[in-house]
């Protein structure tokens, strides 16, 4: 998995490339959780280049969302492929996350 990080003002964008599964979720956790614990509050996760997400990836996203809610932060997921969006729907995660079509919409919601 490749994680590209960008910061615009107080918004951190993480572009996820490849697969988010049991083998790679630790890589994202090592980037995302320290940022949250360090006080960052606004995140966009861009899924446009994400090819797969497993239950391990979903668990990590749920952990991040809970930590952010406790810190009055927010995470927005964007640019999901249809089959990944379907995984979120089947697992019941769509009400938990704000999911938008593209990065521009996510930026508008966080500003």
Res 106: pLDDT: 98
Structural element, H or E, at residue 56: helix 55-70
41-51 in b/e burial notation, b at 16+ Cβ within 10 A? bbbbbbbeebe
Identify the sign of the CA torsion 32, 56, 72, 99.
positive
pLDDT digit string (tens) for 47-93?
A: 999 999 999 999 999 999 999 999 999 999 999 999 999 999 999 99
Res 100: pLDDT: 98
- Entry pTM: 0.95
Say how far apart CA 61 and CA 63 lie, in whole Å: 5
Q: Do 18 and 1 touch, CB atoms closer than 8 A?
A: yes
At 35, the pLDDT band (50, 70, 90 cuts) reads very high
* pLDDT mean across residues, the chain: 97
**Integer angstrom CA distances of residue 54 from 24, 25, 38, 61, 76:** 10, 9, 27, 11, 19
Q: pLDDT above 70 covers what percent of the chain?
A: 100
Residue with token string 């083998």: 23
What is the CATH topology of the domain spanning 2-106?
Transcription Regulator spoIIAA (3.30.750)
């Amino acid at each position: 998995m490749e994680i590209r990080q960008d910061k615009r003002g107080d918004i951190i964008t993480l572009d996820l490339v490849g697969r988010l599964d049991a083998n790679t979720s630790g890589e994202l956790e090592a980037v995302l959780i320290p940022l949250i614990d360090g006080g960052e509050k606004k995140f966009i996760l861009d899924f446009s280049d994400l090819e797969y997400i497993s239950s391990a990836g979903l668990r990590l996203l749920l952990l991040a969302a809970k930590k952010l809610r406790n810190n009055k932060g927010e995470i927005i997921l964007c640019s999901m492929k249809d089959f990944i969006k379907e995984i979120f729907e089947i697992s019941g995660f769509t009400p938990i996350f704000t999911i938008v079509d593209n990065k521009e919409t996510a930026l508008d919601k966080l500003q």
